[in-house]
Amino acid sequence: MAVLAGRETPVASSEGPLLHRRRLGAELRRLRGDRTLEEVAEATLISTSKLSRLENGQGVPLPRDIRDLVTFYELDPPSADRLRRWASAGRSQAWWREYTDALPAGADTYVDYESGASTIRSFAAAVVPPLLQTEAYALELYKVLPAVKSDDSARRLLEVRARRQQLLVKSDDAPQLIFLLDEAVLRRPVGPPDAFREQLDHLQVVSRQRNVSLRVVPFASGPHPGMLGLFTILHYADDRDRDVVAAESHTGERFLEQPSNVLQYLRIFDAITRKALDHDESRALIADINSPKGMP
């Protein structure tokens, strides 16, 4: 057990089933090569629609399907074992599934993507990103978010947020976290003054963690291409995993996986980065805003 942002939480499990299904799908596409889905379906007695879903990381891989595919592709024992491991993990239930009823649309899918990322780049234009939020700050946001309909939903969302933070910020194999915050994030008071000061203090503490980079885009830098809202780019160390962009909206997360879309957002992120203060300047600005003269 460990304490993070005022709450004691258990360490969360690691990668979700979606990532393993995607890896399995990428490998099945590679193994099929120039063969058609119909050829593989005829030989394995697996329907073409199911094969297509498996190759796209959408289907639930059954043991007999993997057995028949291993036989058809004549895989050596290490390759066969790898497919079986991915298939088994793809059938598992992630810890966040018990919170699905409380999560906004698309949030469970986002947590699944997040769970296996090696680098997470996030830009925030209006509010502190969830991985950096204190409990008090998050509770104030839940009061105005239309997706949070009850106190019980808010409590369950706090549990998800705390477990995500524990896994991503405190674990030994935590990913690299790169945050760009527009100055508006630091200037907009959320909750009572003491709670907002606590949030700004927390940003200072987290910014010094070995795997965290936190930089502020000041008002003085003028307009930039991130002004339309919050987005996150999730990068994976395994070449089988396609990078993903998650763009947040009032109706839930929108996920972009096409390489051209990911590249476009990487360029946007780089353009915003060029407008940002360096790490020391960013901490100095946060401290200045959090001082008596800087608080509204």
**146-150 contacts, C-beta under 8 A, 24 or more apart:** 146/250, 147/104, 147/105
Q: Residue 141 domain-assigned? A: yes
pLDDT score of 13: 44
What is the span of the domain harbouring residue 218?
A: 96-289
The number of distinct structural domains making up the chain is 2
Is 125 found in the same domain as 34?
Answer: no
Asked whether residue 130 falls in the same domain as residue 78, the answer is no
* 168 and 271 belong to one structural domain: yes
Same domain membership, residue 113 and residue 84: no
CA separation for the pair 257, 287 (Å, rounded): 38
Same domain, 157 and 275: yes
Domain boundary residue, one of 90, 121, 154: 90
Last residue of some domain: 90, 117, 148? 90
Distance (Å, rounded) from C-alpha 95 to C-alpha 116?
14
User: How high is the pLDDT of residue 170?
Assistant: 74
Which two structure tokens, joined as six digits, stand for 193? 């003054």
In a domain, 3, yes or no: no
Say what the pLDDT of residue 38 is: 96
Q: Each residue of 214-250: b (16+ CB within 10 Å) or e?
A: bbbbbeeeeebebeeebbbbbbbeeeebebbbbbbee
Confidence at residue 14, expressed as pLDDT on a 0 to 100 scale = 67
Same domain, 234 and 178: yes
The helix/strand/coil state of 23 is: helix
Print pLDDT tens along the chain (296 aa): 333 444 433 334 468 899 999 999 999 999 999 999 999 999 999 999 999 999 998 888 899 999 999 999 999 999 999 999 999 999 988 899 889 888 888 889 999 999 999 999 999 999 999 999 999 999 999 988 877 878 888 999 999 999 999 877 877 788 999 999 999 999 999 999 999 999 999 999 999 999 999 999 999 999 998 888 889 999 999 888 899 999 987 667 899 999 999 999 999 999 999 999 999 999 999 999 998 776 65
Residues 123 and 220 in one domain: yes
Q: In this predicted structure, what is the pLDDT of residue 173?
A: 81
Same domain, residue pair 111 and 252: yes
Only one residue has tokens 């949070």, namely 148
CATH code, domain carrying 214: 3.30.870
In a domain, 12, yes or no: no
Task: Indicate if 113 and 258 belong to the same structural domain.
Answer: yes
pLDDT value, residue 6? 45
Name the one residue in this structure whose structure tokens are 């959408």: 58
Contact between residue 202 and residue 195 where contact means Cβ atoms under 8 Å apart: no
Do residues 25 and 125 share a domain?
Answer: no
**Residue 122: inside a domain, yes or no?**
yes
Q: What CATH number did the domain enclosing 23 receive?
A: 1.10.260.40
Tell me how far apart the terminal alpha carbons of the chain are, to the nearest angstrom: 37
Last residue within a domain, chosen from 90, 118, 143? 90
Residue 284, in any domain of the structure: yes
